Amino acid sequence: MNDLGRLEDLPAVYVQEMRSHNLVPLWPSLRGVLPPKIPTRQTQPTCWAYRDIRPLLIQAGELTPIEKAERRVLVLANPGHGLEKMQASAAIYLGMQLLLPGEWAPSHRHTPNAVRMIVEGEGAYTTVDGEKCPMRRGDLILTPTGLWHEHGHDGTEPVIWLDVLDLPLVYYMEASYHINGERQHVHTEHALQAPTLAAGLAPTPVFARQNKDYPLLRYPWEQARASLLALAETQAADSAVQITYVNPNTGAHVQNILGYYALMLRPGESLQLPARSPACVFHVIEGGMSAAIASNTFTLGEADTCCAPGYTPVTLTNLSEQPTFVFMADESPLHQKLGVYEIRP
Ligand code: GTQ
């Protein structure tokens, strides 16, 4: 690689003259923005243990009333990006949210897409676009871009869930904003439409009341877990047991920017994931595993979360005698749509 000219090689007055017209030379920065062969990544392999998060989140419940927080969330921030940036990766935001019995997180909508993966507690629900979605451990609930959503809690114990948003990307695009709304009128209990869609039976579009972009908003863990166990029965021993959360009308990823998956590690299984361009997040629903990411090896138990930068191979090893179930989020839909998706051999 040839050395390119540096900024210091130029006369100071020349540089100053350029800058005064809002001009800068490319060549001192060319290798920085187009590094050789592999991108520079700020995303560092990072692990967040639930035993560290939970007591601080419960304390937040004592320190900050819901009215003062709107959303009581501790953000899982990647130190590689700087904690104040509140990003897990270039496009992924992660937060742990606490809702206490009787509390209400008021209705709003925003341009970033969100999903919730329920970690603990019973009795809370999210109302999305008028559809009331009960929150149970392991459920995935979508709050896609532009849809009204609010969280309520009729139970008796704290409820905690993991929020995954594409906020860093949408913010970077200068397209992130929210609108506050009125309490929603619930028009559909989730249970009414889910069985049809989950069975792969979609209402015929011309007769459907409305052709919704997001026909399914709640993916119950019970069904995802049963699918993984059934898949493990038929899947070759050397291939991964993984499902993708899809839109039942189109078969495409449930959201436009981030992809969501559930993975089962068989007892004794060690799964090597090839280096791919998108960054990825792993969250243990049940069991335990180690995650080897570049030169880091993390040990994850239930409700622990870690992230891997793109272009980095990852090895997941089941540390439990039982199947280990993992929720994953990644930037694949984004990379695929933009044409930058790669798998490195
Ligand atoms: O629950 O609506 O973690 O608006 C960040 C922004 C959660 C939410 C977050 C949000 C929400």
pTM recorded for the entire structure: 0.96
Neighbours of 98 (CB within 10 A): 28
pLDDT at position 320, please? 97
Q: Would you kindly state where each structural domain of the chain is located, as residue ranges?
A: 43-344
Superfamily designation of domain 43-344:
Jelly Rolls (2.60.120.10)
The verdict on the CB of residue 97 being under 6 Å from ligand 1 is yes
Task: For 202-241, write each residue's pLDDT tens digit.
Answer: 777 666 655 678 988 999 999 999 999 999 999 998 899 9
pLDDT at position 268, please? 96
Dist. CA 115–CA 142, nearest whole Å: 4
The verdict on the CB of residue 163 being under 6 Å from ligand 1 is yes
Residue with CA nearest ligand 1 atom 11: 71
Give whole-number Cα distances, 51 to 47, 57, 89, 163, 302, in Å.
12, 10, 22, 17, 10
Helices of type H across the chain: 12-20, 30-33, 50-63, 66-69, 167-172, 194-198, 221-234, 332-338
Chain position carrying tokens 């249970």: 191
pLDDT at position 265, please? 98
Q: What residue type is assigned to position 153 of the chain?
A: H
Q: What residue type is assigned to position 276 of the chain?
A: R
pLDDT at position 207, please? 65
Candidate of 66, 163, 167 to mutate for ligand 1, largest count of ligand atoms within 8 Å of Cβ: 163
Candidate of 57, 66, 71 to mutate for ligand 1, largest count of ligand atoms within 8 Å of Cβ: 71
Element (H, E) at 104: strand 104-110
Below-70 pLDDT ranges, the chain: 1-2, 189-193, 205-211
**Bridge partners of residue 73, in order along the sequence:** 97
**Bridge partners of residue 264, in order along the sequence:** 241, 325
